[in-house]
């Protein structure tokens, strides 16, 4: 029996409500662009991955700047 955390049915359980909507959206995009559904899905995955990476980088930068501001405030270099 697999570990509950590694159970495939539980790993993607959060995506279940989005399944029908995603299928409809991919079919619509495929129909209106003339591209095969698999190609539209591949493009969507690549674009979403790139957006995710940019978002993570931005979040890391914000956390770093906030940490530096807090340290500078604690050391008395900045007064508000």
Segment 61-77, tens digit of pLDDT:
999 999 999 999 999 99
**52-57 mean pLDDT:** 95
> What's the pLDDT band for 3 if we cut at 50, 70, 90?
low
- Cα–Cα dist 80/72, whole Å: 11
For the stretch 36-51, pLDDT in tens is 988 988 998 899 999 9
Residue 1 has pLDDT above 60, yes or no: no
Q: How far is CA 6 from CA 1, 2, 17, 18, in A?
A: 10, 6, 20, 21
CB neighbour list of residue 5: distance below 8 Å, 6 or more residues apart: 11
């Amino acid at each position: 029996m697999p570990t509950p955390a590694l159970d495939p049915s539980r790993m993607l359980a959060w995506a279940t409500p989005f399944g029908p909507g995603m299928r409809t959206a991919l079919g619509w995009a495929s129909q209106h662009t003339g591209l095969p559904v698999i190609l539209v899905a591949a493009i969507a995955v690549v674009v979403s991955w790139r957006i995710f990476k940019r978002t993570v980088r931005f979040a890391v930068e914000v956390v770093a700047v906030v940490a530096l501001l807090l340290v500078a405030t604690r050391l008395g270099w900045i007064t508000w």
